[in-house]
Amino acid sequence: MKRAICSLLLLAGAAVTSADAAGFTVRSGDQSSLSFVYRQMGVPVEGRFTKYSARITFDPAEPAAAKASLDLDLTSADAGSAEANDELAGKAWLDTKAFPKATFVSERVEALGSGRFAVSGRMTIKGRSREVSAAFAFTPKGDDALFEGAFVLKRADFAIGEGVWADFGTVANEVQVKFRFLATAGK
């Protein structure tokens, strides 16, 4: 469940968009994914978020004009068991009763070369807003596009895992967030 929280934060940093470019809506279900991996007592633990929406405006020829936004339903965190999900939703972790949503809004996108880009923006989780950056690959697929990448989120920056869970020896501070967004061009 601690993993899920970290993944959620990372997920928010993954969306990309642009002003005069095509607007994309991310498809949900099996075609897209937002997952996270964290280490608990040195062992990797995987989780995912099942409910989110993202809008991306992006033209690979003009990455500086790109824009992206992500709304993440933190209550959809799946850390692999009902017990872990309940713990993750609790006050020490995601505190979903007080903060049911997390958001990401891009501030800049830059080309890295060979179809790779970097997006940076503000992620807000549990009322705390921090800059996050994610590298991603853009692959056009007809009228669709695939945005795929990853970034590392530091859970302490968002007060995820407080109290007895604040010890990084038990649950690592770094959470790897991975995203694979298949998006459909729209108006």
Domains of the chain: which residue ranges?
2-186
Q: pLDDT tens across 82-118, in order?
A: 999 999 999 999 999 999 999 999 999 999 999 999 9
Does the 2-186 domain belong in CATH 2.40.128.110? Answer: yes
Contact 132, 120 (CB under 8 A): yes
CA–CA separation, 86 and 168 (whole Å): 21
- Residue from 15, 11, 13 nearest 36 by CA: 11
CA–CA separation, 185 and 78 (whole Å): 29
pTM: 0.83
